[in-house]
Amino acid sequence: MEIIIQPTAAVASGIAARLVARLLREKPSAVLGLATGNTPRMLYQELARRKLEWSKVTTFDLDEYVGLPPEHPGSYYQFMRENLFRHVNVTPANIHVPDGMTKDIPGFCAHYEQAIRAAGGIDLQVLGIGSDGHIGFNEPTSSLSSRTRIKTLTAQTRRDNSKFFECEADVPHHVITMGIGTILEARQIVLLAFGEQKAQAIAQAVEGPISAMCPASVLQLHPDTKVFLDEAASRLLTKVDYYRWVYDNKPDWQKTSGP
């Protein structure tokens, strides 16, 4: 894992955006895995601002609430439309968001996995992290080799996500989410975490043992994961000085910089 600590979420998101932009320039038909939630908003804003070529890009969203139609304001489809898709020239047929209204959840999940494979696999997966360490909606105790399936949200996640709904009671209990095994197959992973409320989950994910109690800790097994943090989210890490030194002293060919 490469840990990149920046003074603010905006600066960290800007560097992450450069990484995604570079991929889209090098591989115009790139396959992106995308997260929703507050965390990647600035990344998506920055990507939209850069006026990149998205017409051949394929996207797969990590998750969607079961029971919410795409036009529901709380749905992740709407979130992606508002925060990214309507600002870039992505081809609508290349956008994939799990269908929260499907009548056949196992069938749909198998089809989603197959669609990812048929697209050639995910080149770069954007992730946020839950305050309980979830990635996608793989809550603590999720199988570390799980595939796309239905999951039940924890009370904490429903509380955290009530910010996107009128009240907590409106937050669905169930979601369809890519599995941890699905996420681990992405060739490159960019995890973003900002704010004090993510500090504990980040400390466990980066420096704790690999454990299903903190699903993000499985990223320690992934060969190319970059973790972008602001100061607050890095607060409980013990090796901050080391992470900063590594980033500040990279050989040019390894730098996450450039236009």
Which token pair is 57? 């890009």
62 burial (CB, 10 Å; 0-12 / 13-18 / 19+) is buried
Binding to ligand F6R by residue 136, rule CB under 6 A?
A: yes
Q: Which of 96, 134, 160, 230 is catalytic?
A: 134
Other C-beta atoms closer than 10 Å to the C-beta of 99 total 19
Note if 196 is an active site residue. Answer: no
| Residue among 35 and 90 whose Cβ is closer to ligand F6R | 35
Question: Which residue's structure tokens are 């299903």?
Answer: 212
Place of tokens 């043992």: 209
Tell whether residue 36 is a contact of ligand F6R (CB under 6 A): yes
Beta partners for residue 86, in sequence order: none
Alpha-carbon span 215 to 222, nearest angstrom: 13
134 binds ligand F6R (CB under 6 A): yes
The yes or no reply on residue 39 touching ligand F6R (CB under 6 A) is yes
Q: Does 219 sit near ligand F6R (CB under 6 A)? A: no
Residue ranges in 16-35 that form contacts with ligand F6R under rule CB under 6 A: 35
Q: Is residue 187 a contact partner of residue 222, using CB atoms and an 8 Å limit?
A: no
Q: Among the options 61, 113, 123, 132, which is catalytic?
A: 132
Residue 35 Cβ vs ligand F6R, minimum distance, rounded to whole Å: 4
Judged by CB under 6 A, the chain residues 47 through 86 that form the site for ligand F6R are: 62-63
